[in-house]
Structure 1
Amino acid sequence: MERRRILGIEGLRGIKLTSPMKSIGMKLFLIFFVSIVSFVLSCGMLSYSISKNVIQKKVSQSSLETISQAGMKLDFMYKTFEDIMLQLNLDNDLQNLLAKAQQFPPGSYQAMEIAGQLTEKLNVIAFSGKSISSLLLFQPDGRLIALTGSGSNSAVENVEQTDWFQAIKNNNDQTQWLDSKAEGYSGSYPNTFAIGRVMKNGEGSSKGVLVMEVSTELLNNELNSLSLGEGSQLSITNSANTNIATLKPGELGKASNLPLTGAQIDAGRGLFTSANDHIVVYYHSALSDWNMVGDIPIGLLVREAADKIFQFTLVAVLCAVIAAGLIGIWVVRVIVRPIQKLRDLMKQGAQGKLTVRAHYTSADEVGQLGASFDQMMQHFADLVRQSGDTAHNVLETANELANSARLTKTAADEIASAMEEISAGATGLAQESEKGNALTEHVSTQMKQVTEANFMMGTAAAGVQEAGVKGAHEMDALMANTNRTEEMITTLIKKVGAFKESTTSIQSILDMLNQIMKKTNILSLNAGIEAVRAGQAGKGFMVVADEIRRLAEQSRHSIGVVGQIMNDIQNEVHETFNLLESAAPIFKTQLQAVRDTNVIFGQVTSQMAAFIEQLGAVSDSVSSLESKQVILSDTMMNVSSVAEESLATSEEVTAQGLEQSRVSDKLVQLSDKLEQLSQGLHDTLSKFDI
């Protein structure tokens, strides 16, 4: 008991306090804590993201519908203004007054009277609608005719060169919407936009230019009536993204901070998210070519929902922290403490105290772990006890094994000595058989060379015979061709001789024609003389005589040329005839040589056939000799193999004998070492408390 107590104290001394972060309890606590808090925080952030997207989508669609309805309302207003402009253009009284105004010079009494009538008529229209600031009527050249309201003529002078006046004229029969101007168009009303149209009569000729000036307050009122949410902005821009109406002071006529692309304008309406994280909704008016644009900050849209979700997330995280702490404490009590107790018991067991037990009674995994620990320690104690008994038996067996190993070593030394003598005799036999095998291989090599040479001679003879037969056939063909060539040469000589005689006949004909030409020339001279004698009556005959003489001279010259050509042909034919007569004997000699060569090829073919037959007999003899040589080589190889196997076997037996001797020495050493180890194992096992 005292020894066990000492072992227990020593085991507890070996237990070292570790860092809390290395404790499985702290790790489990952190896992539960971080997992629960992270899950709750992730759910809160996910809820915020989903809510933000839903709110953003709903508000975007709602804002798009709102701004679309407002845009259509403005379209109705734009249509009203265009109808007023069209009504004025179709007014017959107004058209008649415009026609009269062009008939009188500016400044005349009639022109001023007509201008007054036009002003009164325009005032009726201007006063009928509070939104119309003024109406301006110009001549096609830009000269002002009539002006309603309190405007002055000096403010609208020289308008013919302005961009807006040229735009109205270039738009022809259509209404032209003019951008807002801070100074206005009439000089009397600031911050106005205008609508212009060319006034034409029924014949289509231009009678004037009508401009309706409208205050931007009308558009601002429409913008004020809309609300897209906190922090939102509204404006009306043209296709060049210039502000037509805006609630920001000083921004009228400047570039909009909410520009639209051409593709977006072509779409008519839509929404997108800007670079500064704002939702932009827009509506494009096909009547005025203006855009109503709204800007809504996303952050302000979702701020209220985000605050509520954030507060809920904080509460949930706080609850999760409390729950995670309670779960962590419970895990430490249920799992960690029993494991720490098992750790302490295992360290005591490692110090040699195999009697420690956990004695856990719970049915969970921790209880099963304690029961397994108790079984393991019991098995260790049984194993140590059995190992002690086995070590004692091994010690006794080691002594007996050492004695047997010494006897085995003595017998192995004697066997090794006898096998060395047997190996020496087998070595001599193997050397002699190797010499005989080498001679047999040399003879076999020579026989193979003879066989190969005989085969090559047979192949060459067959080739020569084949070449002789082919040469004989070729000589037959050559002899036939030579005979045909000789016949063709003979025929050609005859043809050339006949052609030579024909050229001689042609020369005779040319001589006769030459004589005729001379006579014709003489006759033409006589005819000329007679024509001269005849005087005036013979002039026609004189012309005929001169023509005959000229033709005779040309014929003489042509006959001379033909004669020269015929002389050249006769010379060439004569040379050809001589060459053919010289070649005929040569072809006869060649034909005789071909016949002699054909006879020689026939003799070569016959002699090579006899030579091939003799080579066949030699090949049969060599083949028979080679087969006998193969049998002899196999026999010598078998003898050599048997000798080598005998030598190898004797060497192997000798080596095994030597190895057995070394093994016996090693066995003696191992027996001594086993005896020492058995004694050491017995001493070590005696230290365990079982």
Structure 2
Amino acid sequence: MRIKSIGMQLGLLIVVSIVLFVSATGFLSWSISKKALANNVSDAYEETASQTSGKLDFLYGSFEKIVLQMMVDSELRTTLTSMEGIPADTGEYAELARKLDERMQFYQFSNSAIASIEVLRMDGQVIPTTSGLLANRSYAKDEWFKNALANDGRSVWIEGNLEENRNTNRTFTLSRVIHGEGSKEGYCVVLIDLSLSALAEQVSTVTMGSGDVEIVGASGHIVYSPDENRIGEPSGLSLPAITAEENQDASKDAGSFRSEDGGRQVVFARSAQTGWYTVASIPVGELYKDAKAITRATLTIIGAALLFAVIVGMAVARTLGRRLGRLRDLMRLGAQGDLRVRADAKRGGDEISQLGASFDEMMENVSRLIGQVSLSANSVLATASDLSEASSRTDLAAREIAAATSDIARGGEGLANEAERGIRLTSHSSEQAAALVGSSREMEARMRRVQESSELGIGKMKLLGDKTGEAKRLVEAMNDRVGRLQDCARSIRRVLDILTGLSKQTNILSLNATIEASRAGAAGKGFMVVAGEIRLLAEQSNRSIGTVAELTRTIEAGVDEAVRTIAEAGPIFAGQLAEVEEADALFGEVGGQMDGFVQTLGVVSEAIRTLEASQQSLSQAMVDVSSVSEESLAAAQQVDARSQDQLDVCADLVGLSAKLRDLSVELQDSLARFTT
């Protein structure tokens, strides 16, 4: 099961650390103590082996003293040298043999450990004596005899019974070449058979745990063991080899090592007299039997350390858990939107206090950021409202422009119709004038009809002049409204510039909030979500502002095109008005001439010629008026189409303003969940 509380984790870490440290220290101390104890016990056993080897050397020395006595025994020398060359079956030889037996018995009885004494000539032949038990033959080719001769002047110790020795007891043998006093050449070889009981007396009182004390020869075979079945068998131990020179090195007299199976500790001491080893093999467990008390003490200390660690760990877990739990609750309230929570911690304290101080600083920064974002949202909402109102006004102006343009189009169409009609009337007047030339009889009646037509033309031209003036005024009014529309478009662009700056500032604030939330770690995840939402709203606002800016640029382009079109239509309307005024003047002149024609029939021909010329001028003027009317109609239709485009753009601008206002309201609703 996973432990979620950091206080419990720290407490458990303290417990584990203390227990591991104390356990490691205890076991290390126990291991060192155990090893030191084993070394001390092993050293004690080595000292015992050395002392036992010293006792045995004293025993070996007593035997060698007997050999030295033989070397200075002149009677023994005389007897042995006298026996050379005398036949064995003579009385003289028998007398010498009796004396030799007496000397041998003297030496044999001088030490109870001596089982028998053998005397051999230098050629290996045995000199029979009553104290000798060796078979009567030559031993010149036997290895032990060659070894005795090779070590001339030094004692040679032979392990175990010789093969042809009739002694039934277990013995070991001392052999040495006997020199005469002041002579370098030996005259006989002496073998002293020594009973193993002498060694048993020295070793039996020595105790080395449960291990047996044994004597191992230089060949590795057992010379003496409490278990008689092992005597003469290989010891199975890897004891250091001995040379004649090393036999005098006291520093190599004792030592110890672990057996090959690792279950026994072998201690040994080497005899300086014989080069044999006093060996004891002790079970390894006996070296550590006194370490149980150390083990119990170590386990007791570990238990006490565990109890202490648990108490300390619980205290630390409770203290840290309470402080971290309070900080966790404050962060949870902050994540729920309450930005008024504070830890009231000092920065100069421990790490938790510093964390609390950082939390307070973060909440202060978040509160200020939320306040700034709220102000920005209010500004965006106000700007959206202004933009919506300006868009509405622009839409209304565009509708008025569209209506005025439609009126201009309809007026142009009527003007064109009237111009066509004037052309037809002018043609009819020309026909009447031609008829007057052909028939003066019908002049009076025709004159009345011409007068009526002239009066009608004057009325129509007056109407055409009024409509042309009205169209001019409408174009001027359209020009003024288009100018105001340009001003509105520039205002919209300035507002969009402000909104773009606000959007960038909101994006920067959301980025800073995200960075601060990331620094806060897990505690700032909730605020990171809010900062992300704010950044998304800022990006949406930026995209909406970009769309509005694009539409505004389209409106400005359309307005500029309308301005250019109206600027082109103004001179046309002015020219049309001048032509209409000229046509009106012509109709007035025709009316005056017709009045004079009625009054003065005498000048009919001149009047007819004048009327004919006037009709030609009027016909040309009406053609011109028709052309101008058609051009005005086309311009009016083009202005009407532009007005419809402007009207669509204004509708889109109104929709975008409403969307921006809705986004601002959503941003305010998101910020309303935070309490500052």
TM-score normalised by structure 2 residue count = 0.53
Residue in structure 2 matched with residue 269 of structure 1 by the alignment: 253
1-structure distance, mates of 2:35, 2:374: 77
Residue in structure 2 matched with residue 323 of structure 1 by the alignment: 308
2-structure distance, mates of 1:285, 1:670: 117
Residue in structure 1 matched with residue 374 of structure 2 by the alignment: 388
Contact map agreement 2:115 2:193 (CA 8 A) in 1: yes
Q: CA deviation at 1:351?
A: 3.2
Tell me the SS of whatever aligns to 2:201: helix
Identity, % of aligned positions: 32
Q: 2:215 aligns with which of 196, 221, 236?
A: 236
* Residue ranges of structure 2 left out of the alignment (5+ in a row): 388-494, 497-544, 560-653
Change (3 A) 1:683 1:190: same
1-structure distance, mates of 2:361, 2:275: 93
AA at the equivalent of 1:241: G
Change (3 A) 1:286 1:365: closer
Q: Residues 522-556 of structure 1, C-alpha deviation per residue, up to 9 Å, x if partnerless? A: xxxxxxxxxxxxxxxxxxxxxxxxxxxxxxxxxxx
2-structure distance, mates of 1:204, 1:346: 110
Change (3 A) 1:671 1:287: farther
Change (3 A) 1:317 1:148: farther
Q: 2:331 aligns with which of 334, 341, 346?
A: 346
AA at the equivalent of 2:88: P
2-structure distance, mates of 1:89, 1:144: 18
AA at the equivalent of 1:118: L
Is 1:259 the counterpart of 2:238? The answer is: yes
Q: 2:278 aligns with which of 289, 292, 303?
A: 292
Q: CA deviation at 1:141?
A: 4.6
1-structure distance, mates of 2:660, 2:130: 133
Is 1:177 the counterpart of 2:157? The answer is: yes
Q: 1:681 aligns with which of 650, 667, 671?
A: 667
Q: Residues 287-341 of structure 1, C-alpha deviation per residue, up to 9 Å, x if partnerless? A: 323233444555422321x211211122112212222222232223222134234
Tell me the SS of whatever aligns to 2:274: coil
2-structure distance, mates of 1:674, 1:106: 150
Q: 2:195 aligns with which of 191, 198, 215?
A: 215
1-structure distance, mates of 2:257, 2:657: 91
1-structure distance, mates of 2:49, 2:656: 103
Q: CA deviation at 1:129?
A: 1.3
Q: CA deviation at 1:36?
A: 1.7
Contact map agreement 2:70 2:76 (CA 8 A) in 1: yes
Contact map agreement 2:222 2:231 (CA 8 A) in 1: yes
Q: Which has the larger radius of gyration?
A: 2
Please give the residue correspondences for 1:625-640 in structure 2 after superposition, counting only pairs within 5 Å: none
Contact map agreement 1:237 1:256 (CA 8 A) in 2: yes
Residue in structure 1 matched with residue 296 of structure 2 by the alignment: 311
Q: CA deviation at 1:185?
A: 6.9
Is 1:99 the counterpart of 2:56? The answer is: no
Q: 1:162 aligns with which of 142, 156, 168?
A: 142
AA at the equivalent of 2:202: E
Q: CA deviation at 1:225?
A: 4.1
Q: Residues 105-143 of structure 1, C-alpha deviation per residue, up to 9 Å, x if partnerless? A: 335544344322211211111111122222122344544
2-structure distance, mates of 1:675, 1:132: 131
Tell me the SS of whatever aligns to 1:241: coil
Contact map agreement 1:242 1:253 (CA 8 A) in 2: yes
AA at the equivalent of 2:308: A
Contact map agreement 1:60 1:271 (CA 8 A) in 2: no
1-structure distance, mates of 2:9, 2:142: 82
Q: CA deviation at 1:69?
A: 4.2
Change (3 A) 1:201 1:331: closer
AA at the equivalent of 1:290: W
Q: Residues 1-39 of structure 1, C-alpha deviation per residue, up to 9 Å, x if partnerless? A: xxxxxxxxxxxxxxxxxx552332332232122112112
Residue in structure 2 matched with residue 39 of structure 1 by the alignment: 21
Please give the residue correspondences for 1:101-120 in structure 2 after superposition, counting only pairs within 5 Å: 101-120=83-102
Deviates more, 1:292-301 or 1:247-256: 292-301
Change (3 A) 1:680 1:287: same
**How many residues are paired up?**
416
Residue in structure 2 matched with residue 334 of structure 1 by the alignment: 319
1-structure distance, mates of 2:125, 2:149: 14
2-structure distance, mates of 1:52, 1:242: 33
Q: CA RMSD in A?
A: 4.1
1-structure distance, mates of 2:144, 2:356: 98
2-structure distance, mates of 1:82, 1:385: 115
Residue in structure 1 matched with residue 225 of structure 2 by the alignment: 246
Contact map agreement 1:184 1:191 (CA 8 A) in 2: no
Contact map agreement 1:281 1:294 (CA 8 A) in 2: yes
2-structure distance, mates of 1:676, 1:108: 155
Residue in structure 2 matched with residue 188 of structure 1 by the alignment: 167
Q: CA deviation at 1:40?
A: 1.7
Q: CA deviation at 1:158?
A: 6.1
Residue in structure 2 matched with residue 89 of structure 1 by the alignment: 71
Tell me the SS of whatever aligns to 2:173: strand
Q: CA deviation at 1:211?
A: 0.7
Contact map agreement 2:255 2:267 (CA 8 A) in 1: yes
2-structure distance, mates of 1:669, 1:254: 117
2-structure distance, mates of 1:263, 1:674: 109
Change (3 A) 1:170 1:410: same
Residue in structure 2 matched with residue 490 of structure 1 by the alignment: none
Tell me the SS of whatever aligns to 1:136: strand
2-structure distance, mates of 1:231, 1:367: 67
Tell me the SS of whatever aligns to 1:134: strand
AA at the equivalent of 1:307: K
Q: Residues 204-258 of structure 1, C-alpha deviation per residue, up to 9 Å, x if partnerless? A: 665432111112222233333444x424453333332222233343222222233
Tell me the SS of whatever aligns to 2:189: strand
Contact map agreement 1:20 1:26 (CA 8 A) in 2: no
Contact map agreement 1:184 1:190 (CA 8 A) in 2: no
2-structure distance, mates of 1:61, 1:124: 43
Contact map agreement 1:88 1:94 (CA 8 A) in 2: yes
Q: Residues 412-447 of structure 1, C-alpha deviation per residue, up to 9 Å, x if partnerless? A: 999xxxxxxxxxxxxxxxxxxxxxxxxxxxxxxxxx
1-structure distance, mates of 2:557, 2:93: 155
Contact map agreement 1:185 1:213 (CA 8 A) in 2: no
Is 1:49 the counterpart of 2:31? The answer is: yes
Q: CA deviation at 1:353?
A: 4.1
AA at the equivalent of 1:162: D
2-structure distance, mates of 1:179, 1:412: 132
Please give the residue correspondences for 1:281-680 in structure 2 after superposition, counting only pairs within 5 Å: 281-304=267-290, 306-354=291-339, 373=359, 376-377=362-363, 379-397=365-383, 399=387, 400-401=495-496, 402=545, 678-680=664-666
Contact map agreement 1:140 1:207 (CA 8 A) in 2: yes
Tell me the SS of whatever aligns to 1:250: helix
Change (3 A) 1:360 1:286: closer
2-structure distance, mates of 1:142, 1:682: 130
AA at the equivalent of 2:16: V
AA at the equivalent of 1:387: V
1-structure distance, mates of 2:659, 2:214: 104
Q: 1:29 aligns with which of 2, 6, 11?
A: 11
Q: CA deviation at 1:160?
A: 4.7
1-structure distance, mates of 2:156, 2:94: 28
TM-score normalised by structure 1 residue count = 0.52
